[in-house]
Structure 1
Amino acid sequence: MAADQLQRFLFDGTAVRGEIAQLESTYQEALANHDYPEPIQHLLGELLAACALLTATVKLGGTLGIEIRGSGAVNLLMAESNPGNHERAQRLRGIARFDHEAVAAAGDTSLHGLLGDGKVVITLDPREGRRYQGIVALDQPTIAGCVETYFAQSEQLPTRLWLAADNQGAAGLLLQKLPAESTSLAADADGDAWDRLNHLAATITDDELTGLDTRDVLYRLFHEEQPRLFDPAPVMFACTCSRERFGAALHQLGADELRGLIEERGEIETQCHFCNTTYVFSPADVEALIEDPDASSPTMH
């Protein structure tokens, strides 16, 4: 697998575009410091790849999040990203919440076996404009199928995804049929391209998707179609947590509760669930926060 990246491509003469996301260090950093069983690692890897693909697809100037909320041994899978470009990496992070004993006892480690009934929530939070949420039922056997349902219902764009993750990396392939008004193609230009390209893409194996270089994947699938490649864009793990953000959250608890916590514990320790960074607030820090929610000190572990 190549360095963590997104590779966009286009099939000239058709209304079909595509992307491949390949994640290795991003995936490994998302798993670091978390005791995730292997089935959860792989599901989270697929979700990270899906999030990377969607962020590039919807061209959002803000945060995109995908949450899968379940009622089973796993109650949450979540991935978030902020967009990048050819010079600045897309920033990606993810987390899972689960019952260790229930996961260990689970005989079925598929998506539905671990999460049970639930829903998929896709949140688009632009820097400017209104926040949007699309919700679909967790009624498909795979994460890819759930995301395809979201595109069919919310974006109304025919979209197919193939996602895979193993112990080393995660990857995803997306094909999307562009609306006629966004292309200069005649209505009858290569009318069977969408079905033909989907048939070719469906021959990809998980091992090929996670193990081959992006260009090798494209050659393996579409060497007779000659896709046009754009410059790849980097992807990296990065967390948006900060002492200031945790301080602002603590301020919302109110003076009485904060002082009660200090009296009980001596200090307040908070931890980011994404990256496991710990922030410690001393009694003096808490008093400063009560007076000014923007107050902070450099104490951090």
Structure 2
Amino acid sequence: MSEMHKFLFEGLPVRGMLVRLTEGWQEVLKRRREAGDEFPEPVRRLMGEMAAAGVLMQSNISFNGAIVLQVFGDGPVKLAVAEVQSDLAFRVTAKVVGDVPDDAQLEALVNVKGGGRCSITLDPQGRVPGQQPYQGVVALHGDQREPLQKLSEVLEHYMLQSEQLDTKLIVAADDNIAAGLLIQRLPVEGSRNLGTASNEDEIGINEGYNRIAHLAATLTSEELLTLDADTVLRRLFWEEDVRRFEPAMPRFACTCSRDRVSDMLRNLGQEEVDSIIEEQSKVEVGCDFCGRQYVFDPIDAGELFVPARDQPPGSTSLN
């Protein structure tokens, strides 16, 4: 069962989250296989890490809308996307062009010539016309311009730049589970805000966060993927006073629909759609996230460009 655990360290401005995606992550890979789109193992691993990281980031800020995590660049993985809704429903996909080395890490996947980027988009629910989503973009290198080799390092760098909050992130994935651990230093409230905290307070806060982050960094990928949440937290923080909250249940869900595909085809234009019908006798659109196929025969396609009040009874084929 997929689980998302939140916890706080009593007496310290430090919070943590641990996510384990099981059935939902396996469903993602199953649907891609059924659609005839088996991703290479390094790409599957990257997708799983992004799904886990996206769920952690959504849980971290509790955003009323979708968080969209994208990695794109100049390697064989042209684009990888993870989207997480406010109820922790997630979906993830990738576009691969060319061969992927068996042992490829992040640099070999998307940052071969240094052109890789990572973007995080916050798309509010019920966005009004003209309202733009917030997007932040960072390059896949650190402050000293050295290439970052792990997705976790990229996101740590992003959160430090965008939120000015120290963060430790560990993510891992295989074909059975995608998991992640996030530790973050919280903003200090009241008289202990930045600029007003005493040196002694600041030293104590830093030492507390650094200790927790160091303990988190000892967690291996194998442990993260094989141990249950209770065991992980007990092994890492057995000397700490940890307050845990009721776990949430992330799940795979795709937001694609026939109406959305219809809108996309209308934006494409009648001339283009008619040319596809003439060439293929139908328009078939597959969802990159879930593999679902939407089929429009000539009658369906024609109805796309007829006002609803003038439409005759037509076909609604869906495969």
Gaps (5+ residues) in structure 2? Answer: 142-147
* Secondary structure of 2:250 counterpart: strand
**Other-structure match for 1:229:** 244
**Other-structure match for 2:134:** 132
Q: Do the aligned partners of residues 95 and 107 (structure 1) sit closer, same or farther apart at CA in structure 2, a change above 3 Å counting?
A: closer
Which of 26, 29, 32 is the aligned partner of 1:31? 29
Gaps (5+ residues) in structure 1? Answer: 85-89
**Identical amino acids, percent of aligned pairs:** 40
**CA distance in 2: counterparts of 1:217 and 1:297, whole angstroms:** 54
Q: How does 1:79-118 map to 2 (within 5 A)?
A: 79-84=82-87, 90-100=88-98, 102-103=99-100, 106=101, 108-116=103-111, 117=114, 118=116
**CA distance in 1: counterparts of 2:212 and 2:191, whole angstroms:** 18
Q: Do the aligned partners of residues 64 and 74 (structure 1) sit closer, same or farther apart at CA in structure 2, a change above 3 Å counting?
A: same
Query: CA contact under 8 A between 1:247 and 1:293: conserved in structure 2?
Result: no
**Other-structure match for 2:65:** 62
Judge which range, 25-34 or 212-221, deviates more.
25-34
* Secondary structure of 1:225 counterpart: coil
**CA distance in 1: counterparts of 2:308 and 2:56, whole angstroms:** 36
**Other-structure match for 1:238:** 253
Number of matched pairs: 291
Q: Deviations over 1:99-152 (max 9, x none)?
A: 35x21xx36511101222310011100114641000000121110011111111
Which of 243, 247, 252 is the aligned partner of 2:267? 252
Which of 53, 56, 72 is the aligned partner of 2:56? 53
Q: Deviations over 1:18-50 (max 9, x none)?
A: 100111112111222230111111111111110
Pair 1:165-2:173 in alignment: yes
Q: Which amino acid aligns with 1:40?
A: V
**CA distance in 1: counterparts of 2:246 and 2:192, whole angstroms:** 23
Judge which range, 46-55 or 182-191, deviates more.
182-191
Query: CA contact under 8 A between 2:300 and 2:316: conserved in structure 1?
Result: no
Query: CA contact under 8 A between 2:168 and 2:216: conserved in structure 1?
Result: no
Q: TM-score normalized by structure 2?
A: 0.86
**CA distance in 2: counterparts of 1:51 and 1:297, whole angstroms:** 38
**CA distance in 2: counterparts of 1:152 and 1:144, whole angstroms:** 12
**CA distance in 2: counterparts of 1:222 and 1:5, whole angstroms:** 19
**Other-structure match for 2:226:** 211
Q: Which amino acid aligns with 2:105?
A: S
Q: Which amino acid aligns with 1:241?
A: C
Judge which range, 127-136 or 238-247, deviates more.
127-136
**CA distance in 2: counterparts of 1:157 and 1:203, whole angstroms:** 21
**CA distance in 2: counterparts of 1:293 and 1:226, whole angstroms:** 62
**CA distance in 2: counterparts of 1:107 and 1:18, whole angstroms:** 33
**CA distance in 2: counterparts of 1:246 and 1:206, whole angstroms:** 39
**Other-structure match for 1:300:** 318
Q: Deviations over 1:30-77 (max 9, x none)?
A: 222230111111111111110010011121111111110021121111
Q: Higher Cα Rg: structure 1 or 2? A: 2
Q: What's the offset of the Cα at 1:226?
A: 2.4
* Secondary structure of 2:305 counterpart: helix
**CA distance in 2: counterparts of 1:242 and 1:290, whole angstroms:** 18
Query: CA contact under 8 A between 1:108 and 1:114: conserved in structure 2?
Result: no
Q: Do the aligned partners of residues 292 and 240 (structure 1) sit closer, same or farther apart at CA in structure 2, a change above 3 Å counting?
A: farther
Q: Do the aligned partners of residues 293 and 113 (structure 1) sit closer, same or farther apart at CA in structure 2, a change above 3 Å counting?
A: farther
Q: Which amino acid aligns with 2:15?
A: R
**Other-structure match for 2:7:** 9
Q: What's the offset of the Cα at 1:214?
A: 0.7
**CA distance in 2: counterparts of 1:111 and 1:125, whole angstroms:** 26
Q: What's the offset of the Cα at 1:16?
A: 0.2
Query: CA contact under 8 A between 1:74 and 1:115: conserved in structure 2?
Result: yes
Judge which range, 183-192 or 200-209, deviates more.
183-192
Pair 1:176-2:184 in alignment: yes
Query: CA contact under 8 A between 1:68 and 1:78: conserved in structure 2?
Result: yes
Q: What's the offset of the Cα at 1:183?
A: 9.7
**Other-structure match for 1:87:** none
| RMSD, matched Cα | 2.1
**Other-structure match for 1:143:** 151
**CA distance in 1: counterparts of 2:12 and 2:23, whole angstroms:** 34
**CA distance in 1: counterparts of 2:190 and 2:47, whole angstroms:** 33
